[in-house]
Structure 1
Amino acid sequence: MATLAELKAQKDALEAQIAEAIKTERKDAIAQVRELIAAFELTEKEVFAKKRGAKSTVAAKYKNPQTGETWTGRGRTPKWLAGKNKEDFAI
């Protein structure tokens, strides 16, 4: 069985090999990415755009006839509708 010192030495040697492999393979990966970007004329926005869940739009259910403001019925009740019968403003 290997001693603790031998195992630590092996670990250090492996970590050095890993660091060297990362350094070498990273250069190759960067070169491949640059080739693809150039070949397809990609922009930074296309490559790094964050995709988020599609937001669905909800149709307005209520409308203020004086200002034209609308409300979907979701969230906080607008001031122009507070304390009034919602059905009177239904679209």
Structure 2
Amino acid sequence: MATYKELLKQQEALAIQIEAARKSEIADAVAKVRAVIEEYGLSAADVFPSGRRTARAPRAGSKVPPKYRDPATGQTWTGRGKEPKWIEGKDRTPFLIA
């Protein structure tokens, strides 16, 4: 079994090998990308669009108008999530907001 110091030396050697392999693979990838760009006559705008969208997606957590109202207290409920005590187990029709 290797000692702690020997393992640290192996780790350093591996880190150097990893970085060299990473640089080599990045260089290969960049060369491939440049070849494809040249082959198809692409521009930077073709590869990296501005990111502007024509229509925005609705954001999560947007407000929803209330659907039910308690006539006694005036409290409202959207119909989402846990039912409030005042409507729990009852027919919801009389509580609908017109």
Q: Normalised by the shorter chain, which TM-score bucket?
A: 0.5 to 0.7
- How many residue pairs get aligned? The number is 56
In the other structure, the counterpart of 1:28 is 28
Go from structure 1 to structure 2 and tell me whether the alpha carbon gap of 1:52 and 1:8 turns closer, same or farther (over 3 Å shift). farther
Go from structure 1 to structure 2 and tell me whether the alpha carbon gap of 1:3 and 1:40 turns closer, same or farther (over 3 Å shift). same
How far 1:54 sits from its partner (Å)?
Answer: 4.8
**TM-score using structure 2 length:** 0.49
CA distance in 1, matches of 2:47, 2:11: 37
User: Larger relative contact order (C-alpha < 8 A, sep ≥ 6)?
Assistant: 1
**TM-score using structure 1 length:** 0.53
Which segments of 5 or more consecutive residues in structure 2 lack a partner in the other structure?
Answer: 57-98
Go from structure 1 to structure 2 and tell me whether the alpha carbon gap of 1:39 and 1:3 turns closer, same or farther (over 3 Å shift). same
Q: Any residues of structure 2 matched to 1:24-63 within 5 Å, and which?
A: 24-51=24-51, 54-55=54-55
Which segments of 5 or more consecutive residues in structure 1 lack a partner in the other structure?
Answer: 57-91
How far 1:31 sits from its partner (Å)?
Answer: 0.8
How far 1:50 sits from its partner (Å)?
Answer: 4.9
Go from structure 1 to structure 2 and tell me whether the alpha carbon gap of 1:10 and 1:55 turns closer, same or farther (over 3 Å shift). same
Q: Per residue, is there more helix in 1 or in 2?
A: 1
Identical positions, percent: 41
